Structure 1
Amino acid sequence: MLFRKKSPIGLDIGSSHIKAVQLNDTKSGYELAFAEMQPLPSEVIVDGAVADKNTLIASLKDLMGRAGIKSGDAVIGVSGHSSVIIKKITIPMMTEEELSTSIKYEAEQYIPFDINDVNIDFQILGPKPDEEGQMDVVLVAVKKNIIAEYVDVVEKAGLVPVIMDIDSFALNNMYEMNYDVAEKRIVALVNVGASKTNINIVQEGIPIFTRDSVMGSNNHTEALQRELDISREDAERLKRGQTIDGVSPETALFVVTSASDEIYTEIHRSFEYFRSSVSEEEIGTIVLSGGAALLKGFPDMMAERLGIPVEIADPFRQIRIPEKLDGAHLREIAPLAAIALGLALRRVGDR
């Protein structure tokens, strides 16, 4: 892999925040250039699509201003919402070049959209165990209009989009960079954001199951609003463990716990589907990222409900943080930067 002094800027544009990370390539490894977050008003991103382009552009420019950048290459992440399909398929053995010419035909069998309305990519995982002459491939299709929206926003903010990647794959990049992927145990990389949950189950660094769902920590916010008849702002305060007049901590905790159970149930369903369709081996560890990783009690309760140890992701584990940056603060918010860091590790020409 060829290295430049600075990596592209990894942009994780979620429904509640933009997260951006850039790395410096040094002789001794990666160094953090910056990691920034910019809150977004609700309804700017809806179901993974850009609903308020002007506000999003302005917010991205604000983030860039704080980071002290005016231009640069960017890698944009997208999730498997209704406009993104991620599917593991089995096809006859062939070279990457051969698959490049036949992927459109292969994809037509699995993609529920007009094939002319999507951009298609793939990653060869390797020979399929116990099936001679067959190989496993991850097929990805993203609607062209979704790509066009994000590209337009990023360009108008002054950046140059060079790669569009999938959030779940970015999680795997982050994991490979910071953890021992040689272990044969199965690890579930789970990112619980505001409006989505990304699951990427890997073994020895190879994705063997990927699934996204439209459920996240907005569940907590909406449950608090609904059950306690309070504003969204007050609900967010309670979710973060703060207090408001008229609501006891015990009452808030009860509502948050009930909302958490819905998320755990959804993740459990994905794990059960993995066990029935991919591997009966037990998942050894969950590496949890996203805003929910910072919610009081959420990781511990997840471990208890799912019966699997939970470790909070540290995307800066193998990244040097210069003294000029606020290292303590970065460590506190690290789980939020997992996808953005994984995106920042991408290079043009990678697969």
Structure 2
Amino acid sequence: MHKHDEISSTERLLDLIRGHSGENSGLETQKPAMENPVSDSRSPVSGFRDSLRKVLSFGRKQVTIGVGIRPDELRLIKIRHASDQKQELLDYLTIPFKSDPNHLKAVIKRFCDSPKKNPDIWSSVSTSGFQIRHIKIPKVSKKEIANAVYWTYKKQNAFDEKEKIFDFEVLGNTVENGIEKIQVIAYTVPRQHVEELKSLFLKSGFPLTGISVHPFFLQNLFKVRWIKTDNKNVCILHIGMNRSRIDIFLSDGNLVLSRSFKAGMNSMVEAIKQKMNKGHSQSSAMLSDTEDSSMTQHIKTPLDARSLPKARIETEQTREIFFRFIHVSSDMSTLPKFSNPLTGTWTDIPEEDIFEMIKAPLKRVARQAEITINYYRSNFNNQDVGKIYISGQISMRQRCVDYICDYLDIPGEPADPFAVQESSVPDLIRVTAEKTLPESPSERSAFAPATGMALSRNSFTPNFIFTYKEKEKFAKIRRINHAIYACLFFIMLLCIGTYYWQDMLAVSKTSRLTRLKLQMETYRPFMDKNLILKKAIQIKRTRQTLKAYSKKYMMMAIISELSKLTPSNIRLLNFTADIGRIAEPGKEGAERTAKEKPVVILNGVIMGDAGTFESSLANYLAGLKKSPIFDQPVIKNRSVGFIESQEVLQFTAHLKL
């Protein structure tokens, strides 16, 4: 038998003996039946949007509302998260509950008192069908953890994904037999329960931010230190009406073991009923036999016959006796009188008698807690539980709390989520001036689930509408967003740098322009009309002189250029250059001479292969055209002839200078 199934097999045997009644645990919130559940397809997107809003909130205080739903009442509590370890209780409310979306909408809208935006809303589903396993997987990469956890859990506890929602939380690393492993809490919850609750709030116009179960809301109380662990492993024993639950937490607040069993306050009510009816029968017989005896006053019955009713007591009467017993102050030795419409007036019932009646079922609850704690010790490296908290209405009777703690030999106290207000950490929780803490212990205990819900955060609270699959999608989107933000930030820095650089350039150019304007304003040139005319005449003469020299040495430049450009297979026979008459600078006719266009006439022959005459001539003309001296070479005449019996091409070319 697998070690995780040892306790559950005992429960199944007890279920067979008692019969399956199909009743839910007394500790979790009961929810009304609803028809036509509507799946909220927007929930993952809403979860992404809400989480992104929290990331980008930059220190804004987030308000969270915890909603506890029971068949007959609705409990709401509103908390503002000033920081991860500091919260402010803003308001709380208890009203009759109706499974009507319009009624729920009106209640939440009035309770929110903030028309601008919807706050985060958390609620819980029944632990009926909730299964949890503490498993260890080999050390794998982060991407492979989800797959390893899924198949390890499914191997131990098979489930259908269409009917169950699967999720897990990584607790950390551990070493087992010298091998490093990863500790994980994995769990499943019926999908229908989640969809029905999600649908109810969606129809009301206030979609849920998160849905979890009772053990994880208790975990929240430890995570934010509303209930202290004192660096010890602790457990919370919740005693409900039909079922009880024990949850064990590590010193850091992480849940490691959760177990529900069939034993609760109804068994104590039934024990009172059986004892009193049995005492009634015995006392009636004894009083009948001794009716006329003077020794009647010395007869001792299980309960004083004068305090018993005239008829057999029913469940409702014993329920009233039981709850008056646990609500009455512990320093009273007897219970107050109360009126019974069927049997007349009850006399005082000693507290000791009531406690003796419920001791046996109370011991059975303590025994189940002892079995669970021993199982934890033997399967979790012999770790011990250092403290126990008792929750539920029975925790208001200190004697019952002391009895369980003495039986388990573990120090304990009632679970009060508001006790931190009176502790030595006054800055951990602040209550607004408009709202004070509940004074009644029963009210404090009743608000514990809703308080745990209001303390929920996606960072440490399992959320069945934001499971590991949605977290992976959100992480991917967040990485993309971070990359986009980084690019935008880089572009912004680049634009800012460019702006300042351009600004510096503008300042520099403005300064230079100012200096130049100043120089222009202070510049006073010594110049007049006669001086300008004289300078113009000098420049004109200089230009004429330069042109005269250029014509004078033009022939030398022509000969030099022709010798450089003429290839070896071309022989120039003669050339004629008409460069005009060289006029004396400043004399009449110089301007006309300068405007004449000189012409060079070339007479030559091309030797070599007759097939290359035309190409050689074309290449020669192209080379002359590229010369900076010659322009527009034109062939005026060409003919084939013979020189010394060798065929040549004779040509005449005109070139402009």
TM-score bin (small chain): 0.7 to 0.9
- Structure 2 residue corresponding to 1:120, chosen from 148, 160, 166: 166
1:11 corresponds to 2:58: no
Question: How far off its partner does 1:96 sit?
Answer: 4.6
| Cα distance change of structure 1 residues 193 and 279 upon mapping to structure 2, 3 Å threshold | farther
- Deviates most, 135-144 or 11-20: 11-20
Determine what percentage of the aligned residue pairs are the same residue. 21
C-alpha distance in 2 between matches for 1:60 and 1:215: 33
Rounded Cα–Cα distance in structure 2 between residues aligned with 1:331 and 1:223: 25
Shift of residue 161, structure 1, vs aligned partner: 1.4
Per residue, is there more helix in 1 or in 2?
2
Which residue is equivalent to 2:378? Answer: 276
Contact kept in structure 1, 2:396 and 2:441, CA below 8 Å: no
Question: Quick one: distance in 2 between partners of 1:220 and 1:76?
Answer: 30
Q: Within 2, Cα distance between the matches of 1:281 and 1:19?
A: 36
Give per-residue Cα distances to partners, 1:268-315, cap 9 Å, x unaligned: 221122122224233211122232222352211111221111122231
State the partner residue of 1:20. Answer: 76
In structure 1, the partner of 2:19 is: none
Q: Is the 8 A contact 1:239 1:256 kept in 2?
A: no
**What are the superposed Cα offsets for residues 135-164 of structure 1, whole Å, 9 maximum, x if unpaired?**
111001011112122223333455321212
C-alpha distance in 1, partners of 2:204/2:395? 30
The equivalent of 1:238 in structure 2 is 322
Aligned to 1:292: 394
Q: What is the distance in 1 between the residues matched to 2:388 and 2:243? A: 17
Change (3 A) 1:275 1:13: farther
Structure 1: tracts of 5 or more residues without a match: 41-53
The 5-angstrom pairing of residues 50-65 of structure 1 reads 55=99, 64=108
Shift of 1:340: 2.1
SS at match of 1:240: helix
Report the counterpart of residue 210 of structure 1 in structure 2: 258
Per the alignment, in what secondary structure is the counterpart of residue 308 of structure 1? coil
Q: CA deviation at 1:111?
A: 2.6
| Aligned residue pair count | 336
Q: Which residue of structure 2 aligns with residue 49 of structure 1?
A: none
Residues of 2 paired with 1:203 and 1:329: CA distance? Answer: 30
Going by fraction, where is strand more abundant, 1 or 2?
1
Gaps of 5+ in 2: 1-53, 277-312, 329-335, 339-344, 421-427, 462-657
Mapped partners of 1:320, 1:299: distance in 2: 29
**Structure 2: distance between partners of 1:67 and 1:85:** 34
Summarize the Cα distance change of 1:107–1:22 in structure 2 as closer, same or farther, 3 Å threshold: same
Q: Which SS does the other structure have where 2:63 is aligned?
A: coil
- Structure 2 Cα separation of the partners of residues 238 and 61 of structure 1: 37
**Normalised by the size of structure 2, how large is the TM-score?**
0.46
Task: Give, in whole Å, the separation in 1 of the partners of 2:72 and 2:217.
Answer: 19
SS of corresponding position for 1:116 = coil
Question: Per-residue displacement from partner, 1:83-138 (whole Å, max 9, x unpaired)?
Answer: 11111111112345422345443332133432331111101111223342321110
The answer on 1:259 being equivalent to 2:361 is: yes
> Comparing 291-300 with 213-222, which one deviates more in the overlay?
213-222
Alpha-carbon distance in 2 for matches of 1:326, 1:174? 19
Aligned residue in 1 for 2:91 = 34
Q: Which of 121, 133, 150 does residue 87 from structure 1 map onto?
A: 133
CA distance, structure 2, for counterparts of residue 300 and residue 8 of structure 1: 35
Q: Evaluate the alpha carbon distance shift between residue 238 and residue 199 of structure 1 in structure 2; reply closer, same or farther with a 3 A threshold.
A: closer
TM-score (norm 1): 0.80
The 5 A counterparts of 1:129-168 are: 129-131=175-177, 132-168=179-215
Shift of 1:217: 2.9
* Deviation per residue, 1:175-232 (Å, 9 max, x gap): 232245572x221133333344332222221333222334333333444456553343
The separation in 2 between residues aligned to 1:339 and 1:231, in whole angstroms, is 28
CA distance in 1, matches of 2:319, 2:119: 37
Instruction: Tell which structure's C-alpha radius of gyration is larger.
Output: 2
Answer whether contact 1:11 1:18 (CA < 8 A) is retained: yes
Q: CA deviation at 1:233?
A: 6.7
Q: Residue 260 of structure 2 aligns to a residue in which SS?
A: strand
Kept in 1, the 8 Å contact 2:270–2:315? The answer is: no
- The superposition leaves residues 313-348 of structure 1 with CA deviations (integer Å, 9 ceiling, x where unpaired) of 231214222232242526663233333222212224
